[in-house]
Amino acid sequence: MPAQKRFSRPVAQAIARDKILGVRAGTGDHRFIGIWSVVVDGRVFVRSWDVKPTGWYHAFRDEPRGAIQAAGREIRVRAVPVRSERMKAAVDDAYFEKYNTPASLRYCRGFKRSKKRRDTTTELVPR
């Protein structure tokens, strides 16, 4: 199986640095929304907090193509579900490291403790 495509180092660094990532799920007329993202080993991951049927997570499940706003530009992406428990644990740790303010820690704990939220772990790859 060929290796997944990865974002360039400057793009991955910008995503790692910025607290909010602009994401548009699907190829329709959806708008960009801001969500939390983390970078693990140069790979970009996101999770859904509320897992609404009308939210970005389900839109990506229905149509895995979309776009992000990072490093001052719009980049087309593909959403890939994460099944590996090892990778999900690394994403847990990355959320706690990046979003470490007292107010943010509540959400990091929710991402880690809720199986429903944790199972939304998605890797975004360039397409």
3-state secondary structure of 85: helix
- Tell me what pLDDT residue 29 has: 74
For the chain, give every domain's residue range.
9-126
Single-letter code of the amino acid located at 34? G
CA distance 42 to 124: 11
**Is the pTM for the entire model greater than 0.85?**
yes
Question: Domain 9-126 adopts which CATH fold?
Answer: Pnp Oxidase; Chain A (2.30.110)
- Tell me what pLDDT residue 3 has: 56
Q: How confident is the model at residue 27 (pLDDT cuts 50, 70, 90)?
A: confident
CA distance 29 to 41: 32
Q: What pairs with residue 80 in β-bridges?
A: 123
CA quadruple 122, 123, 125, 127: dihedral, nearest 10: -20
CA distance 121 to 116: 10
Percent residues over pLDDT 90 in the chain: 91
